[in-house]
């Protein structure tokens, strides 16, 4: 029977890239449902409520980034030790991952009493939006143990090749969230209407139930690993974060960028903050296929680089770039044609539509460049260089986007803010092209 390694080295590249990428796209789609469903129902409360969860998004993003970065590092060590048939060491890594997840949950519970109010007040002056933001963050931070445990258990299942169980865990959590959102927000079946706080409670309930399902799958259906208790091991922690830190920093940079943008836009209109929030919800869906290809490219190139199969590497690179370019042209066209209809999903007010329609059309021009950039940085990672990906993120968001946004707000109009995305993504493409012709070319010439 052909094993996974043989498929990476022998299966036709188009079929292989689809086979590796498709489950990742499904998983990402399920994950994005949490925030999208919250946004859909919260938008029906008011624009102020929608603005609040947009303001809360960077904090949630950092939480998920830390959890995923930790999970990626843990998964890397777990897979390596499982490949070596060192099950004792594998169990130890999983137990350390459990320890880290519990620590983060406790820390965020304590911070949930301190951070939300000053964080919200630093971005807007509107008391209603501040109140909604505090309500939402106190719950999602205070009960963040669910998201950390869910992602931890998903990565454990992934490391042993149980991708179907991972997707099932995510699906159960997402469905629970979808069912509970309207019930908790609007107060059905005799429950009180809890508004924004209800959306947060629905989210963490879905995550907790997803984590419980993950624990059941791990203990009942995953015989390779037997996690007994949380464990502390400094060397394993170092190994986890040697791999996971670049991913975490990249997400943190994105969250910092959104935070600064919200502060800049609050001086113009809270509707602008709501419009940016809608943009990031749309973006999460637009980029899903690209991120799926992005994650599929890495193991294919890495395996064939180790096997010194230059031809398959080049075919993978060309196919990935061609696929994301076609996909981004299609989604950019859809967004440019239907921006008003897209914003209506979030119950957009007239002011939000006035700001949001040109915003979506302008930002859509950046997507073609963004697809090339995302795949390019994944190719760097496949050749063992995560630093180039991190530098690219800093270039796009800190060096270019924020200065352009600041200049636009101070000297021009709000529409010029959105052109910062296009300029930043174009600069990223130039960055990718340069290092494809230098770093990647040198790697291929050594084969």
Query: Could you tell me the residue range of the domain that residue 379 belongs to?
Result: 7-22+268-447
Residues 192, 286 within the same domain: no
Q: What is the pLDDT of residue 210?
A: 92
Domain count, the chain: 2
Mean pLDDT for each consecutive 10-residue tract of the chain (447 residues)? 52 78 71 73 88 88 85 73 72 88 94 94 90 94 92 79 77 89 91 92 93 89 78 86 77 85 83 86 80 75 77 89 91 93 87 91 90 87 77 90 90 87 93 92 81
Residues 16, 50 within the same domain: no
Q: What is the pLDDT of residue 1?
A: 38
Residues 134, 236 within the same domain: yes
Residues 349, 213 within the same domain: no
Q: What is the pLDDT of residue 103?
A: 94
Q: What is the pLDDT of residue 134?
A: 95
d(CA 328, CA 294): 14
C-beta neighbour count of 308 within 10 angstroms: 9
CB 174 within 8 A of CB 33: yes
Pick from 244, 276, 309: which residue ends a domain?
244
Residue 301 lies in a domain: yes
CB 74 within 8 A of CB 240: yes
d(CA 93, CA 57): 30
Residues 354, 412 within the same domain: yes
d(CA 16, CA 6): 11
Residue 263 lies in a domain: no
Q: What is the pLDDT of residue 24?
A: 66
Residues 207, 305 within the same domain: no
Residue 381 lies in a domain: yes
Residue 69 lies in a domain: yes
Q: What is the pLDDT of residue 84?
A: 66
Residues 346, 213 within the same domain: no
Token pair listed for 32: 């994005």
Residue 30 lies in a domain: no
Residues 112, 224 within the same domain: yes
Pick from 211, 229, 244: which residue ends a domain?
244
Q: What is the pLDDT of residue 3?
A: 43
CB 136 within 8 A of CB 196: yes
Pick from 192, 212, 244: which residue ends a domain?
244
Place of tokens 């205070």: 142
Residue 227 lies in a domain: yes
How many residues can be counted in the chain? 447
Residues 178, 296 within the same domain: no
Q: How many helices (H) and strands (E) does the chain have?
A: 20, 0
Residues 163, 15 within the same domain: no
Q: What DSSP designation does 115 have?
A: S
Place of tokens 């498709």: 22
Q: What is the pLDDT of residue 426?
A: 94
Residues 345, 410 within the same domain: yes
DSSP string, 282-337: HHHHHTHHHHHHHHHHHHHHHHHHHTT-HHHHHHHHHHHHHHHHHHHHHHHHHHHH
Residues 376, 435 within the same domain: yes
> pTM of the full predicted structure?
0.76
Residue 233 lies in a domain: yes
Residue 88 lies in a domain: yes
């Amino acid at each position: 029977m052909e094993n996974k390694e043989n498929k990476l080295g022998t299966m036709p590249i188009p079929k292989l890239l689809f086979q590796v990428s498709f489950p990742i796209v499904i998983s990402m789609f399920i994950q994005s449902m949490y925030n999208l469903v919250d946004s859909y129902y919260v938008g029906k409360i008011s624009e102020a409520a929608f603005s609040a969860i947009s303001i809360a998004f960077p904090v949630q993003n950092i939480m998920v980034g830390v959890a995923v970065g930790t999970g990626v590092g843990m998964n890397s060590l777990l897979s390596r030790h499982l490949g070596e048939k060192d099950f004792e060491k594998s169990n130890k890594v999983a137990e350390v991952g459990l320890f880290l997840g519990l620590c983060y949950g406790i820390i965020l519970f304590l911070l949930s009493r301190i951070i939300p109010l000053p964080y919200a007040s630093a971005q807007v002056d509107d008391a209603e939006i501040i109140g909604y933001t505090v309500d939402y963050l106190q719950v999602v931070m205070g009960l963040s143990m669910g998201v950390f445990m869910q992602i931890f258990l998903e990565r454990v299942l992934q490391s042993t090749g149980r991708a179907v169980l991972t997707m099932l865990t995510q699906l159960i959590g997402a469905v629970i969230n979808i069912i509970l959102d309207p019930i908790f927000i609007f107060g059905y079946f005799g429950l009180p209407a809890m508004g924004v706080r209800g959306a947060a409670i629905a989210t963490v309930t879905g995550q907790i139930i997803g984590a419980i399902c993950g624990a059941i799958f791990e203990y009942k259906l995953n015989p390779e690993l037997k996690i007994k208790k949380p464990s502390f091991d400094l060397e394993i922690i170092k190994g986890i974060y040697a791999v996971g830190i670049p991913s975490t920093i990249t997400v943190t940079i994105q969250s910092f960028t959104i935070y600064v943008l919200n502060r800049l836009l609050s001086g113009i209109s809270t509707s602008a903050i709501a419009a940016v929030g809608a943009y990031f919800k749309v973006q999460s869906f637009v980029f899903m296929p690209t991120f799926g290809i992005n994650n599929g490219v890495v193991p294919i190139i890495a395996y064939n680089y180790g096997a010194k199969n230059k031809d398959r590497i080049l075919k993978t690179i060309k196919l990935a770039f061609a696929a994301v370019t076609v996909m981004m042209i299609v989604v950019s066209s859809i967004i440019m044609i239907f921006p008003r209809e897209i914003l209506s999903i979030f119950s957009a007010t007239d002011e939000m539509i006035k700001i949001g329609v040109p915003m979506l059309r302008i930002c859509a021009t950046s997507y073609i460049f963004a697809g090339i950039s995302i795949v390019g940085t994944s190719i760097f990672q496949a050749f063992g260089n995560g630093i180039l990906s991190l530098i690219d993120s800093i270039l796009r968001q800190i060096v270019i986007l924020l200065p352009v946004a600041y200049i636009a707000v101070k000297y021009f109009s709000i529409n010029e803010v959105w052109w910062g995305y296009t300029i930043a993504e174009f600069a990223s493409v130039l960055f990718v092209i340069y290092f494809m012709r230098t770093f990647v070319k040198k790697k291929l010439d050594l084969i």
